[in-house]
Structure 1
Amino acid sequence: MSLKVGVLGYRFMGKAHANAMARLPMFFPEAPEVERHTLVGRDEDALSDAADRLGFAHTATDWEDAIEAVDVFYNLGPNHVHADPSVAALEAGVPVLSEKPLAEDLESAERMAAAADDAGVPTATAFNYRFVPAIRYAKNLIEDGELGEIHHFRGRYLQDWLVDPEAPWSWRNSEEMAGSGALGDLGAHTVDLARFLVGDVERVSGHLRTFVEQRPVEGEGGEAGETRPVTVDDAYSAQAELEDGAMATFEASRFANGHKNDHAIEVHGSEGSLKFSLERLNELEVLRDRNRGYETILVTDEDDPYVDHWWPPGHVLGWEHTFVHENFEFLSAVDSGSEYHPDFEDGLEVQKALAAIQESDERGEWVDVE
């Protein structure tokens, strides 16, 4: 019996997850059988075209109709659309995968996590970078004690798609719809990797900045010369203390000229260190002997995490493969009724850290992550 999947949203993330579901039977034959059942959107013509391209059998302009028809619900809409459909699906006993950040604000995230707890079905917050083979390799090194006592975590996520002040306004520039800018869009990934690799964020000192206050409106509803205010941050930085006293620094920007999708982390311990960059996602730099410097490990061997499902050693993977791994783990958990992480509780913990960073910027002082 196949799992009927409904997906809200058919643009960037809709393509990524639809592609992942299509790849599962080819490369993960042990995965449950999946039917791309219902695609949800507002524009019927665009929705019909997207359903044909992405392999969905049905469409719906009302997410409530989709929830009634499917076994699993993927909420890939803008942040302010995460809460209501996800809670409704969970109240109907339907497992949910939600894009990150979990919601546009802490209150909505708490409501989603509470609904997940009551429903008792698997949930997922879509932190796909946990499923990069090199990140899994790094986690194994840390858990095996290879780095010793962890002293530092450094994470940055740099992009440059908003450097041009004439770049058009979108929902990602709206506090009402997005909640935050680079902080939630990019920083959520970094905070999640800090939690995944090192431990919970306990207190933060944050700084947010908006560089362009108004952006032009394009498309339907936009008149010549019309602009809308940017009400979120374009960049943020934060100092943090993680559990067991590890120090952390976080940074993200959508104004970092020359950086397209540069998510990089470093972990430093008493016995060694490691470095990773998403722009070289098949590599992990590891320091075991401080006198000899870092060695670059190509994480493409058959016994490396997930790699046995793909190509011979040295044949590298790409960004889209992280979604295949994520979908395999989540849908397998749904099929078996087993535990899955990162779930809505993990998403909530990240949301708490994001909210504390915003509060710290407003208050100008360190804030505990409750």
Structure 2
Amino acid sequence: MSQLNSQQAAPAMQELKVGVIGGGFMARTHADAIRRAGAQLIGVRSNGEQSTRQASAALGVPGFGSVEALLAQCDAVHVTSPNALHAEQAASALAAGLSVVCEKPLATSAREAGELALLASRSRAVASVPFVYRYHPMVRQARAHVQEGKLGRLLTVRGQYLQDWMHTVSDSNWRVEPAKGGPSRAFADIGSHLVDLLEFIAGERIVRLNATTSIAHKQRGAVDVDTEDAAALIVQMASGAIGTLMVSQVNAGRKNALTIELSGDRSALEFKQEKPEELWIGKPDMSSILSRQAADLSPDAARLSVVPAGHPMGYLDAFAAFVADTYAAIRREAPDGLPTFADGARACRLTDAVLESADSGDWIDTDD
């Protein structure tokens, strides 16, 4: 077994052996980022023999007969399986001494996610969660704008993450079933990105929230639907700033409309994921668009700006940068802003709070 422990030097990048658990779109996305980072993708195990064969063909790597067999050959593993399997598979990898990249949600409950974060903190393994929108250069520029005091005292926040891939009654996939996807669907899937990005840019936490959720279609195919299609939140930040967040997977025409706006007493800023090359900066006397040009960026934003201005960067570049930072951490470097299992557990805590508030109608405290 090729394991990392306190007695072993971290392998050079080209020697890092990486496996993928799961198939489908996210497995392909992870595989692309693994290869772009220069590591060896040695194999895949999906949920069953047929799906493993399909994933093997899609990724161009051997299929393994079990998760255990794959783990025995790896230094690190990427978990892209259905949500309900994340906690068990990530824990198994950590127990085997491997570094782990685990898709969000880290687990289907805050309790399980917290246990995983604790397990990761007690090991020397690197354990990260792909909150990859942190890796757009203009997100890092927005964060630097806040850190440098240019925003001023935070007054209000506004965010939305809108999609339409579950818009019609005929739209369905495994996430609809709580046994596979967990008790939350839209918020666990994309709301987790929204709250992570908000707290990352703002540099402070949501301390309480009030939420309501809705289900667009009570039945999809032969499956009764118990998980939300949309969630609307009122939030209060640690500084006292207030705001609104909207998450939906049933907004017609919206494909991946993730937007964050922070307004302070000196300026405001807005980032739109569908226009990742730009950052809007607002002031009472003038508003402007800052485009991605390395000479105008903070050091961390410039670090992630890997092609010249005018050559668009996007989602796959952000994903590759996240994986590269994970592997840098495996080499005992300390890249700034790497989302860890603690961040994954935080998102699960907020997801549980959304469900609790929607059920009770109460404000829920969320400052851990």
Is the structural similarity TM-score above 0.5?
yes
Counterpart pick for 2:31 among 18, 21, 44: 18
Letter in 1 for 2:84: H
Q: What value does the CA root-mean-square deviation take over the aligned residues?
A: 1.8
Counterpart pick for 1:201 among 191, 203, 206: 206
Letter in 2 for 1:329: D
1:259 Cα offset (Å): 0.5
The answer to whether the aligner puts 1:325 opposite 2:321 as a matched pair is yes
3-state secondary structure, aligned to 1:239: strand
1:10 Cα offset (Å): 2.4
Counterpart pick for 1:366 among 343, 348, 363: 363
Counterpart pick for 1:50 among 47, 55, 60: 55
Contact 1:97–1:126 (CA<8 Å) still a contact in 2?
yes
Q: Distance in 2 between matches of 1:152 and 1:209?
A: 25
Question: Matched residues, percent identical?
Answer: 29
3-state secondary structure, aligned to 1:280: coil
Counterpart pick for 1:351 among 344, 348, 352: 348
The answer to whether the aligner puts 1:84 opposite 2:81 as a matched pair is no
The answer to whether the aligner puts 1:259 opposite 2:254 as a matched pair is yes
Q: Which moved further from structure 2: 79-88 or 308-317?
A: 308-317
Letter in 2 for 1:138: A
1:119 Cα offset (Å): 1.6
Q: Distance in 2 between matches of 1:307 and 1:338?
A: 14
1:49 Cα offset (Å): 4.5
Counterpart pick for 2:338 among 319, 341, 353: 341
Letter in 2 for 1:47: T
Q: Distance in 1 between matches of 2:305 and 2:220?
A: 45
Aligned residues: 348
1:249 Cα offset (Å): 1.6
1:128 Cα offset (Å): 0.5
The aligned runs of 1:210-225 (5 Å cut-off) are 210-216=215-221
Letter in 2 for 1:290: P
1:202 Cα offset (Å): 1.0
Q: Distance in 1 between matches of 2:122 and 2:174?
A: 31
Q: Distance in 1 between matches of 2:329 and 2:167?
A: 41
The aligned runs of 1:178-327 (5 Å cut-off) are 178-179=181-182, 180-198=184-202, 199-216=204-221, 227-287=222-282, 289-292=283-286, 294-301=287-294, 304=297, 305=301, 310-327=306-323
**Residue equivalent to 1:4:** 17
**Residue equivalent to 1:122:** 126
3-state secondary structure, aligned to 2:263: strand
Cα offsets for 1:54-73 (capped at 9, x unmatched): 243x3214212111110011
1:51 Cα offset (Å): 2.8
Q: Distance in 1 between matches of 2:261 and 2:67?
A: 41
Q: Distance in 1 between matches of 2:95 and 2:105?
A: 21
Letter in 2 for 1:174: E
3-state secondary structure, aligned to 1:69: coil
Q: Is there any run of 5+ residues in structure 1 with no aligned partner, and where?
A: 26-33, 217-226
Q: Which moved further from structure 2: 60-69 or 81-90?
A: 60-69
3-state secondary structure, aligned to 2:158: strand
Q: Distance in 1 between matches of 2:37 and 2:296?
A: 19
Q: Distance in 1 between matches of 2:217 and 2:57?
A: 38
The answer to whether the aligner puts 1:149 opposite 2:143 as a matched pair is no
1:79 Cα offset (Å): 0.9
1:154 Cα offset (Å): 1.1
Taking structure 1 as the reference length, the TM-score comes to 0.89
Q: Distance in 2 between matches of 1:270 and 1:118?
A: 41
Contact 2:176–2:185 (CA<8 Å) still a contact in 1?
yes
Q: Distance in 2 between matches of 1:300 and 1:49?
A: 41
Contact 1:159–1:254 (CA<8 Å) still a contact in 2?
yes
**Residue equivalent to 1:41:** 46
Q: Distance in 1 between matches of 2:219 and 2:324?
A: 41
Letter in 1 for 2:231: Y
Q: Distance in 2 between matches of 1:209 and 1:124?
A: 31
Cα 1:309–1:151 change in 2 (3 A) is closer
1:338 Cα offset (Å): 4.3
1:245 Cα offset (Å): 1.4
Q: Distance in 1 between matches of 2:248 and 2:89?
A: 30
Q: Distance in 2 between matches of 1:61 and 1:11?
A: 18
The aligned runs of 1:130-145 (5 Å cut-off) are 130-145=134-149
Cα offsets for 1:169-208 (capped at 9, x unmatched): 3221122222211111110001101211121121110101
Contact 2:157–2:262 (CA<8 Å) still a contact in 1?
yes
Cα offsets for 1:324-364 (capped at 9, x unmatched): 11011011101226477310111111111111111011111
